[in-house]
Chain A
Amino acid sequence: MDVDSKLNALEKNLKQVIKGKDEAVRLSIVALIARGHLLIEDVPGVGKTTLAHALARSIDGSFHRIQFTSDLLPSDIIGVTIYNQKKNSFEFKKGPLFTHVLLADEINRATPKTQSALLEAMNDSQVTVDRKTHPLPKPFFVVATQNPIEYEGTYPLPESQLDRFMVCLDMGYPSKEDERKIIVSSNEDLMPSNLHHVLDTNEVLKLQERVENVKIENSLVTYLLNIIEATRNSPEVLELGVSPRGGIALRKAAQAFALIQGRDYVVPDDIKNLSPYLLAHRVILNTGGEFNVMEERRVIIRDLLEKVEVPL
Chain B
Amino acid sequence: MRRRDKLENITYLLIVAGIVSTYMSGRVSPLIVSIAVFICLINFLLDTRKTAFFRRKRRRAKRTGKKMLLLKNLFIALLLIFLLIDTLFISLSLLTSAIRLLLFAQVLKLFDLKDTRDLLQMKIIVFFQVLSSAATTTNLSLLPLFGIYFVLSIWWIMLFHFREEAKTAREKAGYRIRPSEVRRLATPMFFITTGILSLVSFFLSLIFFFIIPRVGVGLFTHEDTTQIRVSGFSEEVDFGDIGSVKLDPTIVMRVETAGLSSPPKKPFYWKGKVFDYFDGFRWQNTYKKKKSTAGRNPSLYLSNAQREYLIKQNILLESLDARILFAVPIVYNVEGLDSSVRIDEDGTISLSAPPLKRIDYTAYSYPEGLTDKFYPLNTIKGRPISPVSITDKRYLQIPYGMNRVAKLAEDITKGLERPEDKAIKIEKYLKQKFTYNLNAIWDVKRPLNSFLFNVKEGYCEQFATAMAILLRSVGVPARLVTGFLEGEWNRYGGYFLVRQRDAHSWVEAFLPGKGWVTFDPTPSIETPLTGTDIFATAALFIDYIKLKWNRYIIRYSFEDQKMLVTKVRDKTLNLKNLSREFLSMFKNALLSIQSGSLVFRIFIIIAVVLIVLSVFTIVKYFERIAGFKRAASGRKILSNEKRKAVRAYLSMLYLLKKKGFVKERHITPWEFMRTIDRLPPNEIAAVKFITGSYYRIRFGLLPYPQRKLKEMEEALKNLKS
Contacts from A to B (Cβ < 8 Å): 215, 217-220, 222-223, 226, 263-269, 272, 305-312
Contact = CB atoms under 8 A, between A and B. Distances in A.
A223 B666 contact: no
A309 B700 contact: no
B173 A220 contact: no
A257 to B, nearest CB: 13
B425 to A, nearest CB: 96
B419 interface: no
A310 B668 contact: yes
Kindly name the residue among B650, B667, B700 whose own CB sees the greatest number of chain A CB atoms within 10 A: B700
Given A309-B630, A312-B646, A312-B649, A272 B175 contact: no
Contacts of B695: 267
B635 A310 contact: no
A226 B665 CA distance: 13
Given A269-B671, A309-B665, A218 B700 contact: no
Interface string B646-657: 100110000000
A309 B666 contact: yes
B41 interface: no
B645 to A, nearest CB: 10
A266 B650 CA distance: 20
Interface residues of B, number: 24
Given A218-B634, A266-B699, 14 more contacts: A218-B636, A219-B635, A263-B700, A264-B701, A265-B700, A267-B699, A268-B699, A269-B668, A269-B669, A269-B671, A306-B666, A308-B666, A310-B665, A312-B631
11 contacts: A215-B701, A217-B698, A218-B634, A263-B700, A265-B701, A267-B668, A268-B668, A307-B666, A310-B667, A312-B649, A312-B650
A309 B630 CA distance: 8
A222 B650 contact: no
B137 to A, nearest CB: 50
A306 B671 CA distance: 12
B669 A218 contact: no
A222 B169 CA distance: 12
B624 to A, nearest CB: 14
A226 B666 contact: no
Interface in B658-680: 665-671
A308 B646 CA distance: 19
Nearest to B638: A219
B180 interface: no
Interface in B609-658: 630-631, 633-636, 646, 649-650
Contacts of B633: 219, 222, 309, 311-312
B700 to A, nearest CB: 4
B670 A267 contact: yes
6 closest residue pairs by CB, A with B = A222-B634, A265-B700, A218-B636, A219-B634, A268-B668, A309-B665
A222 B696 CA distance: 18
B651 to A, nearest CB: 12
Contacts of B646: 312
Contacts of B667: 310
Interface in B697-713: 698-701
Contacts of A263: 700
A223 B634 contact: yes
A215 B666 contact: no
Contacts of A268: 668-669, 699
Contacts of B634: 218-219, 222-223, 226, 311
B653 to A, nearest CB: 8
Nearest to B630: A312
B635 A311 contact: yes
Contacts of A267: 668, 670, 695, 699
A85 B648 CA distance: 77
A308 B633 CA distance: 11
Contacts of A307: 666
A268 B663 CA distance: 14
A282 B699 CA distance: 28
Nearest to B672: A310
Contact of A220 (B696, B699, B701): B699
A299 to B, nearest CB: 15
A217 B696 CA distance: 11
A269 B667 CA distance: 9
A226 B671 CA distance: 19
A226 B698 CA distance: 19
Contacts of B698: 217, 312
Contacts of A217: 698-699
Contacts of A218: 175, 634-636
A25 to B, nearest CB: 20
Contacts of B635: 218-219, 311
Contacts of B669: 268-269, 310, 312
Contacts of A308: 666
A207 to B, nearest CB: 19
A218 B174 CA distance: 11
B666 A305 contact: yes
A266 B701 CA distance: 11
Contact of B668 (A215, A226, A264, A272): A272
A308 to B, nearest CB: 6
Contacts of B649: 312
Contacts of A306: 666
Contacts of B668: 267-269, 272, 310
Contacts of B630: 309, 312
Contacts of A219: 633-636
A218 B169 CA distance: 14
A293 B633 CA distance: 34
B166 to A, nearest CB: 16
Contacts of A223: 634
Contact of A215 (B636, B650, B670, B699): B699
A197 B668 CA distance: 37
A311 B668 CA distance: 8
Kindly name the residue among A219, A226, A264, A269 whose own CB sees the greatest number of chain B CB atoms within 10 A: A219
A264 B701 CA distance: 8
A286 B135 CA distance: 58
